[in-house]
Amino acid sequence: MARSMADALAQNEAQEEGLKEPDKRDLLEMKRKALQDPRIKDFIKHGPMDSPQTPGAAQFLSEEKIEYTQLNVRVPVLLLKRLKRAAFEQQQGNLQPDTVQEILMQALNAELRKMGY
Protein backbone atom coordinates (compact mmCIF):
# COMPACT_ATOMS: atom_id res chain seq x y z
CA MET A 1 0.00 0.00 0.00
CA ALA A 2 1.32 3.47 -0.89
CA ARG A 3 2.29 5.56 2.10
CA SER A 4 2.41 8.91 0.36
CA MET A 5 1.30 10.66 -2.78
CA ALA A 6 4.80 10.30 -4.24
CA ASP A 7 4.79 6.54 -3.56
CA ALA A 8 1.38 6.20 -5.19
CA LEU A 9 2.48 8.17 -8.25
CA ALA A 10 5.69 6.16 -8.55
CA GLN A 11 3.82 2.86 -8.25
CA ASN A 12 1.24 4.02 -10.79
CA GLU A 13 3.98 4.99 -13.22
CA ALA A 14 5.70 1.63 -12.70
CA GLN A 15 2.45 -0.19 -13.47
CA GLU A 16 1.90 1.88 -16.62
CA GLU A 17 5.40 1.05 -17.86
CA GLY A 18 4.78 -2.63 -17.22
CA LEU A 19 7.32 -3.00 -14.42
CA LYS A 20 6.52 -5.55 -11.74
CA GLU A 21 8.19 -4.19 -8.60
CA PRO A 22 10.65 -1.29 -8.88
CA ASP A 23 13.78 -1.44 -6.77
CA LYS A 24 14.62 1.37 -4.35
CA ARG A 25 16.68 3.36 -6.86
CA ASP A 26 13.99 3.19 -9.50
CA LEU A 27 11.34 4.09 -6.94
CA LEU A 28 13.34 7.11 -5.79
CA GLU A 29 13.86 8.26 -9.38
CA MET A 30 10.15 7.86 -10.13
CA LYS A 31 9.29 9.90 -7.02
CA ARG A 32 11.63 12.68 -8.13
CA LYS A 33 10.08 12.63 -11.59
CA ALA A 34 6.55 12.69 -10.15
CA LEU A 35 7.39 15.63 -7.90
CA GLN A 36 8.57 17.61 -10.94
CA ASP A 37 5.04 17.52 -12.38
CA PRO A 38 3.65 21.10 -12.25
CA ARG A 39 0.25 19.84 -11.07
CA ILE A 40 1.87 18.10 -8.10
CA LYS A 41 3.96 21.18 -7.30
CA ASP A 42 0.81 23.31 -7.41
CA PHE A 43 -1.02 20.88 -5.12
CA ILE A 44 1.86 20.89 -2.65
CA LYS A 45 2.15 24.66 -2.75
CA HIS A 46 -1.55 25.59 -2.65
CA GLY A 47 -3.30 22.46 -1.44
CA PRO A 48 -6.61 21.11 -2.68
CA MET A 49 -8.41 24.45 -2.23
CA ASP A 50 -7.31 25.54 -5.72
CA SER A 51 -8.01 22.23 -7.39
CA PRO A 52 -10.73 22.15 -10.05
CA GLN A 53 -12.63 19.49 -8.09
CA THR A 54 -13.48 22.00 -5.36
CA PRO A 55 -14.84 25.04 -7.18
CA GLY A 56 -15.78 27.88 -4.92
CA ALA A 57 -14.03 26.54 -1.83
CA ALA A 58 -11.30 29.16 -1.96
CA GLN A 59 -13.90 31.84 -2.64
CA PHE A 60 -15.99 30.71 0.34
CA LEU A 61 -13.05 31.02 2.72
CA SER A 62 -11.65 34.23 1.25
CA GLU A 63 -14.91 36.22 1.25
CA GLU A 64 -14.28 37.54 4.73
CA LYS A 65 -11.62 37.31 7.37
CA ILE A 66 -13.05 35.12 10.09
CA GLU A 67 -12.00 35.47 13.70
CA TYR A 68 -12.47 32.23 15.63
CA THR A 69 -13.32 31.60 19.26
CA GLN A 70 -13.87 28.52 21.38
CA LEU A 71 -17.41 27.16 21.77
CA ASN A 72 -18.16 24.16 23.95
CA VAL A 73 -21.58 22.58 23.72
CA ARG A 74 -23.10 19.22 24.53
CA VAL A 75 -24.82 17.45 21.66
CA PRO A 76 -26.47 14.05 21.36
CA VAL A 77 -24.05 11.25 20.50
CA LEU A 78 -26.02 10.39 17.37
CA LEU A 79 -25.68 13.96 16.09
CA LEU A 80 -21.93 13.91 16.62
CA LYS A 81 -21.62 10.58 14.81
CA ARG A 82 -23.62 11.93 11.87
CA LEU A 83 -21.46 15.06 11.78
CA LYS A 84 -18.22 13.08 11.81
CA ARG A 85 -19.55 10.74 9.11
CA ALA A 86 -20.51 13.70 6.94
CA ALA A 87 -17.05 15.23 7.33
CA PHE A 88 -15.42 11.90 6.47
CA GLU A 89 -17.52 11.40 3.35
CA GLN A 90 -16.88 14.98 2.22
CA GLN A 91 -13.13 14.43 2.61
CA GLN A 92 -13.29 11.15 0.68
CA GLY A 93 -15.20 12.86 -2.12
CA ASN A 94 -12.83 15.86 -2.09
CA LEU A 95 -15.83 18.13 -1.50
CA GLN A 96 -16.23 21.22 0.62
CA PRO A 97 -16.99 21.70 3.49
CA ASP A 98 -14.93 18.74 4.65
CA THR A 99 -14.21 19.35 8.32
CA VAL A 100 -16.47 19.20 11.35
CA GLN A 101 -15.82 22.89 11.99
CA GLU A 102 -16.67 23.96 8.43
CA ILE A 103 -19.85 21.86 8.36
CA LEU A 104 -20.97 23.31 11.71
CA MET A 105 -20.22 26.88 10.58
CA GLN A 106 -22.22 26.40 7.39
CA ALA A 107 -25.17 24.78 9.20
CA LEU A 108 -25.25 27.38 11.97
CA ASN A 109 -25.03 30.25 9.49
CA ALA A 110 -27.93 28.85 7.47
CA GLU A 111 -30.06 28.29 10.57
CA LEU A 112 -29.33 31.74 12.00
CA ARG A 113 -30.16 33.38 8.65
CA LYS A 114 -33.41 31.43 8.57
CA MET A 115 -34.22 32.76 12.05
CA GLY A 116 -33.48 36.31 10.89
CA TYR A 117 -30.10 36.83 12.59
The pLDDT tens digits for 8-53 are 666 666 566 665 666 778 778 877 887 787 777 777 777 665 555 5
Instruction: Determine the distance from the C-alpha atom of residue 67 to the mean position of all C-alpha atoms in its chain, rounded to a whole number.
Output: 22
Position 83 scores a pLDDT of: 94
User: pLDDT tens for residues 55-112?
Assistant: 555 555 555 677 888 999 999 999 999 999 999 999 999 899 989 999 999 999 999 9
3-state secondary structure of 74: coil
DSSP string for 6-58: HHHHHHHHHHHTT-SS--HHHHHHHHHHHHTSHHHHHHHHH-GGGSTTSTTHH
60 and 102 belong to one structural domain = yes
Both 65 and 98 in one domain: the answer is yes
The answer on 72 and 24 residing in a single domain is no
By residue range, what is the domain housing residue 33? 1-46
65 and 31 in a common domain:
no
Based on the domain organization, do 61 and 88 belong to the same domain?
A: yes
pLDDT attached to residue 57:
52
Model pLDDT, residue 20: 61
Q: Tell me the Ramachandran region of residue 18: left when phi exceeds 0, alpha when psi lies from -120 to 50, beta otherwise.
A: left
Name the DSSP class of 96. Answer: S
Q: Distance (Å, rounded) from C-alpha 110 to C-alpha 104? A: 10
Residue 115: the pLDDT is: 92
Same domain, 107 and 76: yes
